[in-house]
Amino acid sequence: MPTQKLQTTTTAAGAQLRLTFYLPPETTRQATATRVREMPAGEQPTVRLHSYGAGALSIGELLVVLLNLSDLESATKLLAEADGLAGLARKPLCELLELRGIGTAKAAQLHAAFELGRRLLVAAPHERTTIKSPADARQPVAHGNGRAGTRTFGYRDSGHQETAYSRCTPSMSAR
C-alpha cells in the first residue's frame, strides 16, 4: 500500500498555515502483538498455569500453552477464525490445516486434545468420579487435578444449611 498524503489548512496567530502529513502504509501502522517471552514472567501463560492452575487461564492462554504459540493474539485470531472453541473442536483434521498459523503438528495436537476431551466425556460410568459427599470430592483434588492452592468443598441440604465440608491442599507434586 502506498504512503498516504494528508493536507490541511489552519490559522494560527493570524497566519494561515498549510500542513502536509505523510502517513505510513497500513501494514506498518498496525501494532505488533506482545510475544509471550517478552511478557513479565508472572503474566506468561505457562507460568500462570503452574502458579494458579489451568482453570485460571483464558481459552486463548490455554491454546498458547498447548500449541506453543508465540503470542496471545495468534490464539485470539485462531479462535475468531474457527468461530470459537466449539467451532475449533468440530473441525476435522483437514480443516484445521486450513487455518492460518496451523501446520501439521499443531493441527495434530489440537485434534488429539479434543479427542481426549471427547473420550473423557463418554467414559464408562464406572470410570467417572461421582461426588456424593465432601470426602468424595477430596480424593480427586488430593491426587492433583492440575489446580494449585487450597480448595474448600461443601454441600447444602434443601434448607440451604451447610451440613459438611472438606478442605484440601494438593501436594507439591501435583503443582
Chain segment 48-94, per-residue pLDDT in tens = 999 999 999 999 999 999 999 999 999 999 999 999 999 999 999 99
Classify residue 6: in a domain, yes or no: no
Assess if residue 84 is contained within a domain.
yes
Q: What contacts 24+ positions apart, CB below 8 Å, involve 58-66?
A: 59/85, 64/36, 66/109, 66/110, 66/113
pLDDT tier for residue 25 given thresholds of 50, 70 and 90: low
DSSP state of 15: E
Does residue 9 lie within any of the structural domains?
no
Is residue 23 in a domain?
Answer: no
DSSP output for 56-70: GS-HHHHHHHHHT-S
Q: What is the pLDDT of residue 137?
A: 72
Query: Residue 36 to residues 9, 30, 33, 94: CA-CA distances in angstroms?
Result: 44, 18, 9, 28
Question: Are both 71 and 93 inside the same structural domain?
Answer: yes
Residue range(s) defining the domain that contains residue 62: 36-121
Counted residue by residue, the chain has a size of 175
Check whether residue 53 and residue 110 sit in a common domain: yes
Does residue 40 share a domain with residue 64? yes
Domain count, the chain: 2
What phi, psi does 2 have (nearest 5°)?
-70, 160
Helix (H) / strand (E) element for 22: namely strand 15-23
Judged on CB neighbours under 10 Å (0-12, 13-18, 19+), 36 is: buried
- 109/25: higher pLDDT: 109
Say if 140 falls within a structural domain.
Answer: yes
Distance of alpha carbon 16 from alpha carbon 25, whole angstroms:
29
pLDDT winner (highest mean) among 8-17, 84-93, 164-173 = 84-93
Domain boundary among 121, 140, 166: 121
111 versus 173: the higher-pLDDT residue is 111
Give me the phi and psi of 124, to 5 degrees please: -60, 145
**pLDDT over 70 at 167, yes or no:** no
Least confident piece of the model among 17-21, 24-28, 55-59, 69-73: 24-28
Query: Which pTM was predicted?
Result: 0.58
Whole-number Å distance between alpha carbons of 153 and 166:
5
